[in-house]
Structure 1
Amino acid sequence: MRDPFEESLRDLLNKPSAQDEAERLGRVLKTANRQVGVGDLFGLMGHWLQGLLIAVNSGAGHVAPVSRRHSSNRSFDKAD
């Protein structure tokens, strides 16, 4: 299975340049670390949103509707 990100890192590492091997490896690792960090950040935000939606959904059953109208079916114990 082809991984385009892995291929781009491999191309970046094998790219001929005037830099020495340590600098090229550092650049590749920095790029890979940045990509992995962004993926982890999006994953964290997705889990946070999922947890928030679960909390709202489970708490929604505890909220009762409020009516300001007076019920006409009330019985009073007052004498007429």
Structure 2
Amino acid sequence: MRDPFEESLRDLLNKPSVHDDDACLGRVLKTANRQVGAGDLFALIGHWLQALMIAVNSGSGHVAPVSRRETPNYSFDKAD
């Protein structure tokens, strides 16, 4: 199975540079760390949003609808 993330890191590692191999490896690891960190951050936000939606859904059944209209006071025991 092809992994585009792994291929991009491999291409970055095999890219000729004027520096030594340690600098090339450091650049690859820095890029990998940045991409993995961003993925973890988006996953965290997704889980937080999911938990928030579950909490709103669980609490919405306990909220009674409220009407601001005044109910007229009709007295049905009077004779017209």
TM-score for both structures, normalised by structure 2: 0.83
Structure 2: runs of 5 or more not aligned: 76-80
Q: Which residue of 2 aligns with 1:24?
A: 24
The alignment of Structure 1 onto Structure 2 pairs a total of residues equal to: 76
Identity of aligned residues (%): 76
Structure 1: runs of 5 or more not aligned: 75-80
RMSD of Structure 2 on Structure 1 (CA): 2.1
- Closer/same/farther in 2, CA of residues 73 and 44 from structure 1, 3 Å limit: farther
- Closer/same/farther in 2, CA of residues 25 and 58 from structure 1, 3 Å limit: same
Counterpart-to-counterpart distance in 2, 1:73 and 1:49: 48
Counterpart-to-counterpart distance in 2, 1:66 and 1:14: 66
Worse overlay, 4-13 or 59-68: 59-68
1:36-47 aligned at under 5 Å gives the runs: 36-47=36-47
Q: Which amino acid aligns with 1:35?
A: Q
TM-score for both structures, normalised by structure 1: 0.83
